[in-house]
Structure 1
């Protein structure tokens, strides 16, 4: 099954959904229309109980170059103007919505990821990146303050020092460095990125119902932060008992 416009595509193969950013002529930079469609596709993934994992990938030489330049320029002229405000909000909402998708998510990252593109990959549960990928926060370089909760979602993966180096001081890293810092699970050859991401997705998607319950609690305990061991046990107990009862049945 395939859906979506030319710039955003959704394919479902068995229990694995794949969302593809397909605007290579502008390096997959996000427009409000593209962001709104992404949100709609994530809603569709959630509505399909047979889906147990989602891979986000991109066509072309860039994973995502951030927000579209025209959108950013227009917003800079008058950020409070309703159209500009709503457009930027849609872009923020797209990667935030990715972080709320009800199945485990993987970013398959090739080429460059900048600004909002970094936020997109940071919103997923796991990242597989090309060794020669170029990862750059890039907000300050554009004369912009980071947006979309960037400091939070970056620092919770790589810590304060590395987050400061990237987000404040403009350090760019490749895929191997991303793996070393904990920003990615694996760095592989460019040609192997999507294959590896789909392999991992198929593994967790083998039991879609369990995958959805498990990732919900994973995010509460490990991603949301500040959850004590005692609270984590309470999150996990009913889910574990449910899974045991289901298996026994």
Structure 2
């Protein structure tokens, strides 16, 4: 439906998932996260799909977790509703990382916090030259969440991850390519076309694409701990920081 916050189109074996909450800069709420998870489940259930592109409507790819959601959760992060709601947000980008086909993030505008986690969850990133990529957690008074340290550092290494996640460095698309955070940086208007071009190539053989990407992830993802374990390490620290922020 046009008024849904997550849209799904399938064309020529490519699933296009669109974040469609531009008035909120596509910031994630538990409800929107649930829509994303449902859409990713739909993609997995369609064997004719061989690739997935995540894109966004508006000037931001994703501004992170919705401010109202974070503020409410900060009053008591361990309360069942708050805990479950934040869990849905974590699950949405983690679920993207488990989709059974190769995935591409087509990134225009800004990506902050959980929005960074969303693009990091994809197998490949095509970004706009003038994209604004920022971890942003500490700037909000929050500890990073969702396994951010692991999924960022496995792409760009320890030094660059420290610069972004701890010291708040913001980068553009050109710098993202230089660091290995993205495959290609192009003009804003060309981002989605380039992502779709790559997606159609691998989607030409959906069965092979699904087998290949499964082994690609098993073989190339490494680190001191798994992403799943890192998520559990970070969650209590983020809950603490949310409560502290709300009481300040």
Aligned 8 A contact 2:25 2:60 in 1: yes
* Structure 2 counterpart of 1:123: 121
SS in 2 for 1:56: strand
* Structure 1 counterpart of 2:25: 27
The answer for unaligned runs of 5 or more in structure 1 is 227-249
Aligned 8 A contact 2:30 2:86 in 1: yes
Aligned 8 A contact 2:61 2:115 in 1: yes
RMSD: 1.1
SS in 2 for 1:121: helix
Aligned 8 A contact 2:150 2:223 in 1: no
- Corresponding pairs, count: 224
SS in 2 for 1:103: coil
Instruction: Report the Cα offset of residue 4 of structure 1.
Output: 7.6
Higher relative contact order, chain-length normalized (CA < 8 Å, sep 6+): 2
TM-score (norm 2): 0.89
* Structure 1 counterpart of 2:220: 222
Residues in 2 aligned to 1:61 and 1:5: alpha-carbon distance in whole angstroms: 18
Aligned 8 A contact 1:21 1:57 in 2: yes
1:183-227 CA-partner distances (Å, limit 9, x unpaired): 00000000000000000000000000000000000000012458x
Residues in 2 aligned to 1:100 and 1:223: alpha-carbon distance in whole angstroms: 13
* Structure 2 counterpart of 1:235: none
Aligned 8 A contact 1:109 1:193 in 2: yes
List structure 1 segments (4+ residues) > 4 angstroms apart after TM superposition: none
Q: Give the structure with higher Rg (CA).
A: 1
Equivalent of residue 51 in structure 1, options 49, 52, 56: 49
Equivalent of residue 163 in structure 1, options 161, 173, 197: 161
Residues in 2 aligned to 1:31 and 1:225: alpha-carbon distance in whole angstroms: 29
Residues in 2 aligned to 1:122 and 1:223: alpha-carbon distance in whole angstroms: 12
SS in 2 for 1:89: helix
Equivalent of residue 70 in structure 1, options 54, 59, 68: 68
Equivalent of residue 135 in structure 2, options 131, 134, 137: 137
